[in-house]
Amino acid sequence: MLKRLQIYEDRCTGCTSCQLVCSFAKEEYFSPALSRIMVDVQQEQARFRPRVCIQCAEAPCIETCPVGALSRDEATRAIRLDKGVCIGCRRCVEACPYAGVGFDEEQGLPLICDLCGGEPACVDVCRFPQAIRYAEEEGDNS
Amino acid sequence: MNTSYPGRVVRVNLSDNKIERQQLSSELLRAYLGGRGVGVRLLWDDVAPDVDPFDEGNALMFLPGVLTGTSTPCSGRTTVSAKGPATGQYLKTSVGGYLGIALKMAGVDAVVVQGIAEQPTVLVIDEQGGRLEPAGDTWGQGVKETTRRLKQRYGDDVEVACIGPAGEKLVRFAAVMTSVYNAAARGGIGAVMGSKRLKAIVIVPGRGGVRVHDPDRFSAAARQARELLYNDSVAPDLHKYGTARDVDILNELRLLPTRNFQRSALSGDAYNLSGRSWPKMGYLERIVSCGGCIYCCHRFTRVSSGPYAGTASGGPEYETVAAFGSGCGILELEPVLAANALCNDLGLDTISAGNVVQWAMETAEKGILTEDDLGGLKLSFGDAEGMLELLMMIGERRGVGDVLAEGVARAADKIGHDSHRWAVEARGLEQSNVELRGAYSYALAFAVNPRGPDHLHTECLAEFGGTNEGISLVEKLTGDKSLAVPDTEIGRAKIVRWHEDMYAVTDAVGMCAFSTTAAYSLDEHALAELVAAATGQEISGEELMKAGKRILTLERCFSLRHGLEPSCDDRVPRRMMEEIPQDVQKGEPMDRERLSRMLKEYYELHGWDPETGRPLRTELHRLGLDFAAEVAVGPCEKGGSR
């Protein structure tokens, strides 16, 4: 069975380390605004919600893309973006039922997790909280 | 050239509404790294000796570190620095939350605020620069409400660092609060902000981010650092149970400061106060982290029923639990959570606030502070309601709260009747909750701490021999691993010397002290590799530690220039010197002779004059600090200073 990213919202401590390593892995610099995983931080009530593509079976993002810029990676099932084809219409952002697609206003491109080719950088920085896991089985295995 | 810390300073003068940019030189960055190091170097030039902490000439600085905003584990710390209101000397505080990362993402390495605003003001910082706006209806509000209103005004995703009512009213132990619940707590740093009529700094998130010199090399160094920290033996419990995890164990060991340090343990079981019990008792709502941390030792707690129902706040940390729990003779956690929440919202340092309340309780029990003096309060140890009411009075400077808001040293001056004897302070700062009479490295470190007696300049956890990593370090420093015991004076100066350099480096690079002086797996060489990869400045572990020594030596010089007298200021509180805890049959107080012997050895190791405790000019020259020679003694280095 293929692995996929699993998010356990109630375990997230809001460290946002995942955003730092993600933007570095993808852009070679640290900028949460460019991270493919997005953490909503509600400081006063200490509520944290990581949002990221979880390689869902239906992939409405692919279906809704009017120019065919999105496709599925055969090996990892991650969503691939063809930047040259994308027109920045944001339909994928709106179509994702998990709010797992971000958008970079400056480049006019969606921000979608590509699983770092099968070794997602975000997972290693979440070793203690285990709010992000990359595993075959779904469910709470802690 | 890309670097994680280009040295971009935003300089604000509130008196004339001016905001300017300043670029720090590469020489300065090489010598002082960033964060706390850059802070003390700028303070030396910016704040003249005759400036009162509340004068417009004092400079309030916000200083993320060299590695803040990168994926270096535990690197989200920010130093907040100024001439301190408690001591009138050097002050640095360190805070977590998201402040440092937010500043770095807005393209700012340091913020320096001078002057005094005509009206209460908010400083807004974004990638375009900064602007000053009226604080409006946030002035007078608590920290929660202030943060809510500023997020409403500037956007949900802005980061807010602000003061509460305590800072506005210049309480000498007011904190600067950020991310709602994270405190730059000690020494009255929040009162400096209040004296400037600066209610808050609002940081608008940017996109530019933080770049490093060599991404591949950095990536490998950060991965290695993470691996070391994950595998350190303190890590699992720190994550699971937080900083208050060992309150019950300290109580059993008779090392838990109790009833204003009169006793060393509670008469009952301290399990309720220990972080280990909170999940089971239903108080722990969530484990929380500072930005960029992998340990996540912070907590969010809530009380859902009973008289304190509705209490919900960040923390409490160990210090807060000891300050309002054992310190005030209170065995139950709920009033401690209430006091913690109240301090967070008033913007008060819980260490000093708890210490002041304890002093008031003892003074009341001795019949010196009467019910009349206390506005009708019948105050005694164990009185939770009295504790909470007194905190409100302090935060608002109401009644006796106005006297207590000055801290225990000044309050004892005013109240008299020998009440200095149980004012647990030195240099004007209330001591943190460590039992010094059984921990001699801590005692020495507290005595020489430039901001006063606490563990947050030099945490010497290794001397307890509690972990293999700590024991190995003591062996490395003293040549004898059997010295990893806290109640001997042998080897203490060496232990303190290493820890204080390491702590200075840790603050300068923006990391958390837990990652280097509680966990010991990450050494100076691993740090040097991170700094070199991030900045492009090749630096060895030894040079990094020398920079640490340079930083704290300049801090010493700053304090000497601003009135430090080593012969009377390098000390621990009187109660530590003269009394032993009433519940301990054996042991000795940290008497003057023992402390003097350790101080002398410490001064010598530093290259300071062993008699006066002043740096020798030759040592200042070696560190490139010739410009501070006016406070030093001994002959000038040939061709050196002045």
What tens digit of pLDDT does each residue of B543-576 get?
A: 999 999 999 999 999 999 999 999 999 999 999 9
DSSP B141: -
Q: Check whether B156 has a pLDDT greater than 80.
A: yes
| Alpha-carbon span B229 to B362, nearest angstrom | 42
Question: What is the least distance, in Å, from the CA of B211 to any CA of chain A?
Answer: 5
Strands B60-64 and A102-104: unpaired
pLDDT above 90 coverage of chain B, percent: 94
**What amino acid is encoded at B130 in this protein?**
G
Q: Is A142 on the interface with B (CB under 8 A)?
A: no
| Cβ within 8 Å, pair A15-B294 | yes
Angle in degrees, CA A41, A45, A46, rounded to 5: 50
Taking contacts as CB-CB distances below 8 angstroms, the residues of chain B near A24 are: 70-71, 215, 219
Q: Check whether B82 has a pLDDT greater than 60.
A: yes
Q: Phi/psi of residue B628, each to 5°?
A: -100, 10
Q: Could you tell me the maximum CA-CA distance found in chain B, to the nearest angstrom?
A: 72
Q: Check whether B636 has a pLDDT greater than 80.
A: no
Nearest to B291 among A16, A23, A128 (CB): A16
Q: Is A124 on the interface with B (CB under 8 A)?
A: yes
- Whether B167 and B193 have beta carbons less than 8 Å apart is answered as yes
How many of the other CB atoms lie within 10 Å of CB of B588? 11
Give the pLDDT of residue B409.
98
| Cβ within 8 Å, pair B239-A128 | yes
Taking contacts as CB-CB distances below 8 angstroms, the residues of chain B near A26 are: none
Strands B110-114 and B8-13: parallel
Q: Is A130 on the interface with B (CB under 8 A)?
A: no
DSSP E strands: which ranges in B215-344? 284-288, 298-302, 312-314
Nearest to B300 among A33, A46, A124 (CB): A46
Q: How distant, in Å, are the alpha carbons of B336, B337, B392, B411, B507 from that of B405?
A: 20, 21, 11, 8, 28
Tokens 């006091």 label which residue? B339
DSSP B258: B
Q: Is A21 on the interface with B (CB under 8 A)?
A: yes
pLDDT band at A136 (very low <50, low <70, confident <90, very high): confident
Question: What is the least distance, in Å, from the CA of A25 to any CA of chain B?
Answer: 9
| Cβ within 8 Å, pair B212-A41 | no
Q: Phi/psi of residue B520, each to 5°?
A: -120, 10
| Cβ within 8 Å, pair B105-A33 | yes
| Alpha-carbon span B112 to B67, nearest angstrom | 19
| Alpha-carbon span B456 to B34, nearest angstrom | 18
Give the pLDDT of residue A137.
64
Question: What is the least distance, in Å, from the CA of A129 to any CA of chain B?
Answer: 8
Give the pLDDT of residue B65.
98
Token code pair at residue B347: 């913007």
Q: Check whether B591 has a pLDDT greater than 70.
A: yes
Chain A residue with Cα closest to B105: A31
| Alpha-carbon span B73 to B529, nearest angstrom | 14
Tokens 């290493």 label which residue? B498
Give the pLDDT of residue A141.
42
Residue-wise DSSP of B517-586: HTS-SS-HHHHHHHHHHHHS----HHHHHHHHHHHHHHHHHHHHHTT--HHHHS---HHHHH---TT-SS
Q: Phi/psi of residue B278, each to 5°?
A: -65, -40
Taking contacts as CB-CB distances below 8 angstroms, the residues of chain A near B291 are: 14-16
Q: Is A43 on the interface with B (CB under 8 A)?
A: yes
Taking contacts as CB-CB distances below 8 angstroms, the residues of chain B near A21 are: 71
What tens digit of pLDDT does each residue of B293-333 get?
A: 999 999 999 999 999 999 999 999 999 999 999 999 999 99
CA A137 to chain centre: 18
Question: What is the least distance, in Å, from the CA of B503 to any CA of chain A?
Answer: 22
Instruction: Point out which residues pair with B182 in neighbouring strands.
Output: B178
Nearest to B288 among A14, A23, A24 (CB): A14
pLDDT band at B430 (very low <50, low <70, confident <90, very high): very high
What tens digit of pLDDT does each residue of A96-110 get?
A: 999 999 999 999 999
Token code pair at residue B220: 């490998």
Give the burial class of B394: count Cβ atoms within 10 A of its Cβ; 0-12 exposed, 13-18 middle, 19 or more buried: buried
- Whether A71 and A51 have beta carbons less than 8 Å apart is answered as no
Give the burial class of B76: count Cβ atoms within 10 A of its Cβ; 0-12 exposed, 13-18 middle, 19 or more buried: buried
Token code pair at residue B363: 């003074």
- Whether B241 and B276 have beta carbons less than 8 Å apart is answered as yes
Predicted TM-score (pTM) above 0.95: yes
Nearest to B71 among A17, A41, A127 (CB): A17
- Whether B445 and B453 have beta carbons less than 8 Å apart is answered as no
ipTM: 0.95
Give the pLDDT of residue A138.
55
Would you call B182 helix, strand, or coil by DSSP? strand
CA B470 to chain centre: 22
| Alpha-carbon span A59 to A57, nearest angstrom | 6
Taking contacts as CB-CB distances below 8 angstroms, the residues of chain A near B312 are: 45
DSSP E strands: which ranges in B385-471? 425-426, 429-430
Q: Check whether B509 has a pLDDT greater than 50.
A: yes
Angle in degrees, CA A34, A40, A41, rounded to 5: 115
Tokens 């930083």 label which residue? B551
**In 3D, which of B60, B5, B13, B1 has the Cα closest to residue B35?**
B5
Q: Phi/psi of residue A54, each to 5°?
A: -110, 25
| Cβ within 8 Å, pair B290-A15 | yes
Alpha-carbon Rg for chain B in angstroms = 23
Count Cβ–Cβ pairs < 8 Å, chain A vs chain B.
106
Token code pair at residue B45: 């030039």
pLDDT band at A68 (very low <50, low <70, confident <90, very high): very high
Across B211-224, average pLDDT: 98
